[in-house]
Amino acid sequence: MIWISLLLLGLILYFIVQYGVARVTRTPWWILWLVLMMPAFLMGFWAATHTDEEPIPAELLVGGFLISSILYIVLVQKNRRTPPAQTVSTELADKLANPPAPSPTRLLNSDEEGQLQHCFPWSVYYLQEIDHRPQAVICRGQLRSQPEAAYQKIQDNIHQHFGDRFLVIFQQGAQNKPFFVLVPNPQAQPSAKRAPISRPGLALGLLFATLVTTTLAGLSLAQPNLTESLLRDNPDLLLAGLPYAIALLAILGTHEMGHYFTARWYKIKASLPYFIPVPFAFGTFGAFIRMRAPVPDRKALFDVGIAGPLAGLAITLPILVWGLMQSTLVDLPEQPQMLSPEAFNPRLSILFTLISRAVFGGELSLSHAIALHPIAIAGWLGLIVTALNLMPVGQLDGGHIVHAMYGQRMGAIIGQVSRILVLLLSLVQPILLFWAIILLFMPAIDEPTLNDVSELDNGRDILGLVALAILLVIILPVPNAMTPLLFSANPLP
C-alpha cells in the first residue's frame, strides 16, 4: 500500500511541478521533482529496510521535510523567470509600484502616446504618468469613477485607437491606487502558430481510457476476491465495475463541465475536460480543463471557479445517498483502518455523517461503521474532490474564489494561511496530511484578471462564504459535542 501511495504522490507532484512551477523558474523540473520527493523516498527506504512495521522516527521525517522544503524554495527563487508579458503577477505589480530605470525600448511612438492620452477622460481616470517598459506601458493616475465603468470606458477607447494590439489590464497598486497596463496581445500576433485550445479526439480518448481504468477499479471494489483466471473465463463480470465507473465519471465530468460552460458564457476559450486515467487505486486522478484566454474580471473568475464545485456537488449528493442506500451497517473495528470501504467510519466528515444519518436513521450508532457500496465510494470521492478543489490556495477553485472576493494580494495571504491550517488540521484528521504536503508546494498566488480592481456584489460574497463552509463540513470530523445529536447510543432493535 505504501508503494502505491508513493507512486500517487509522485505523479501528483509531477503535475504540480511540470504545469504549475516549471514556468516560473529555470531550474529543471526533474530536479525540483526529486527534491520534493526526498521525504517520500526516505519513507520508502525506511519501509523497505524495516520489515517489522516500525514507524519512521518523527525527527527524521520532519528533518527530511524541512531540508526538502528549504532546498526547493532556494532552487525556485535562485533561477526565477521574469513573468510572461501577457500576465501581470504580484511580482510585476511590485516592480510597477517601484519602477527601475526607464528602458529605451518602447511599444508606442510619440504620436501613439498622444492617442493613448486621449483614451483617458479626466472625469473617468485622470492620467498623470505614462511609463514605458520593453513589454508594457504603465499608465498611472487617479480613479474618478466606479472601477468597472472606468475599465470598460478606457478599454473601449484603447480598442478604438489601437484595435486588438493590446490587452488592457487594471491592477491595484501601492496604497490601493489602481493603475492601467497595456501589454501586447498574444492573440494578435500573426506570426505565432498556436496549438488548438481543445482537442476533442484527445479528450474522448482519455475519457475512454479512464472509463476502462475506473471500471477495473470498480470491479475490484465490487468483487475484491475476483481472480484474473475467473475474469478471463467470464468477461461479463466486468459489468459489475460499471456502476462505480459511471458514477465517478459523472461526478468528475459534471464538475469540469460546470467550469467549461461558465467559461464559454464569459467568452473565455476553454478546452473540453481531460480525464486522467491510472491503472490502480480508484482508476483516475480526476479531470481538468485548460483556459488560454485571460479572465475579464473578478466576477467572471468567481463564477468560473465556483461553478465546478457546485455542479459537482449537485450530482455527488444524490449519488452518495443512493450508494448509502445500497450499503450496510457493520460493527466498527476496535482499530479501524483509515478509509477502509469495508468498515468506513462515518465520523470522519460532518457532511458525510449528516447524510448517513438521514439514510440510516436511528440504526446508525457510535458502534457502527458502513460497508460502502461501490457507488457510495464514488460519492465519497466526489465529496473529497469538491473539498480539495475548494481549498483557498493558488489556482485551485477555492483560490479563484478568495481572489475574486478579496483581491489577488489578500487571496495569496489567505492561501498561505490555509496551507498552514490544513497542515495543523492533519493532526486531528490524518487523511489531510497527504494533501497538506501537496498544498505546501503549490503556488499560493493566483493569476490576475484583466480588471482586477472591480469588486464582487454581496450575493457572490455570500455564495463564496457558503462554498468555504461546505469545505469545512466535508473535511472536519464530527466534534464530540455533536456526537449525541447525530448518533444513537445503541442501535435500534
Q: Give the pLDDT band (50/70/90) at residue 39.
A: confident
Q: Give the pLDDT band (50/70/90) at residue 352.
A: very high
Among the residue ranges 328-342, 367-381, 394-408, 466-480, the one predicted with the least confidence is: 328-342
**Most confident listed range (37-41, 187-191, 373-377):** 373-377
What pLDDT, on a 0 to 100 scale, did the predictor assign at position 199?
A: 80
Q: Mean pLDDT, the chain, as a whole number? A: 81
Mean pLDDT of 126-155: 91
CATH of 90-188, one of 3.40.1360, 3.30.1360, 3.30.70, 1.10.10: 3.30.1360
**Which residue has better confidence, 157 or 176?**
157
Mean pLDDT of 195-201: 71
CB 447 within 8 A of CB 89: yes
CB 252 within 8 A of CB 385: yes
3-state secondary structure string across 339-406: CCCCCECHHHCHHHHHHHHHHHHHHCECCEEEECCHHHHHHHHHHHHHHHHCCCCCCCHHHHHHHHHH
Residue-wise DSSP of 81-92? PPPPTT---HHH
**Which residue has better confidence, 419 or 62?**
419
Measured in whole angstroms, the distance separating CA 415 from the mean position of its chain's CA atoms is 12
Q: Comparing C-alpha atoms, which of 285, 259, 255, 284 is closest to residue 271?
A: 259
Could you say which DSSP state residue 293 is in? S
**Which residue has better confidence, 431 or 132?**
132
User: To which H or E segment does residue 153 belong?
Assistant: helix 147-162
CB 438 within 8 A of CB 12: yes
What pLDDT, on a 0 to 100 scale, did the predictor assign at position 301?
A: 95
What pLDDT, on a 0 to 100 scale, did the predictor assign at position 437?
A: 75
Residue 187 pLDDT > 80: no
Residue-wise DSSP of 65-105? HHHHHHHHHHHHHHTBPPPPTT---HHHHHHHHS--SPPS-
What pLDDT, on a 0 to 100 scale, did the predictor assign at position 139?
A: 94
**Which residue has better confidence, 179 or 430?**
179
Q: Give the pLDDT band (50/70/90) at residue 120.
A: very high
User: Rounded distance, CA 353 to CA 347, Å?
Assistant: 6
User: Rounded distance, CA 446 to CA 415, Å?
Assistant: 9
Residue-wise pLDDT for 375-405, tens only, equals 999 999 999 999 989 999 888 999 999 999 9
- Where does 234-337 have alpha helices with state H? 242-265, 298-325
Scanning the structure block, which residue is given the C-alpha cell 509531477? 14
What pLDDT, on a 0 to 100 scale, did the predictor assign at position 296?
A: 92
CB 324 within 8 A of CB 359: yes
Could you say which DSSP state residue 274 is in? E
User: Rounded distance, CA 284 to CA 455, Å?
Assistant: 37
**Most confident listed range (31-45, 141-155, 195-209, 438-452):** 141-155
Scanning the structure block, which residue is given the C-alpha cell 445529536? 485
End-to-end Cα separation, the chain, in angstroms = 38
What pLDDT, on a 0 to 100 scale, did the predictor assign at position 23?
A: 59
Mean pLDDT of 280-294: 83
What pLDDT, on a 0 to 100 scale, did the predictor assign at position 479?
A: 85
Burial class from Cβ neighbours inside 10 Å (0-12, 13-18, 19+) for residue 428 reads exposed
Cell reading at 275: 480525464
State percent of the chain over pLDDT 70: 79
What pLDDT, on a 0 to 100 scale, did the predictor assign at position 180?
A: 94
Residue-wise pLDDT for 225-280, tens only, equals 776 666 676 777 788 889 999 999 999 999 999 999 999 999 998 889 999 888 77
Strand partners, 424: none
What pLDDT, on a 0 to 100 scale, did the predictor assign at position 100?
A: 46
Which residues lie below 8 Å from residue 234, measured CB to CB, with a gap of 6+? none
Helix axes 408-425, 90-97, angle to 10 degrees: 140
Residue-wise pLDDT for 56-111, tens only, equals 676 676 677 678 777 777 777 676 654 443 344 444 444 444 444 444 567 888 88
User: Rounded distance, CA 340 to CA 336, Å?
Assistant: 8
Residue type, 112: E
User: Rounded distance, CA 120 to CA 344, Å?
Assistant: 62
**Which residue has better confidence, 83 or 40?**
40
Mean pLDDT of 489-493: 50
Q: Give the pLDDT band (50/70/90) at residue 467.
A: very high
What pLDDT, on a 0 to 100 scale, did the predictor assign at position 229?
A: 67
**Which residue has better confidence, 174 or 163?**
163
Long-range Cβ contacts of 221-228 (<8 Å, 24+ apart):
221/341, 221/374, 221/377, 222/374
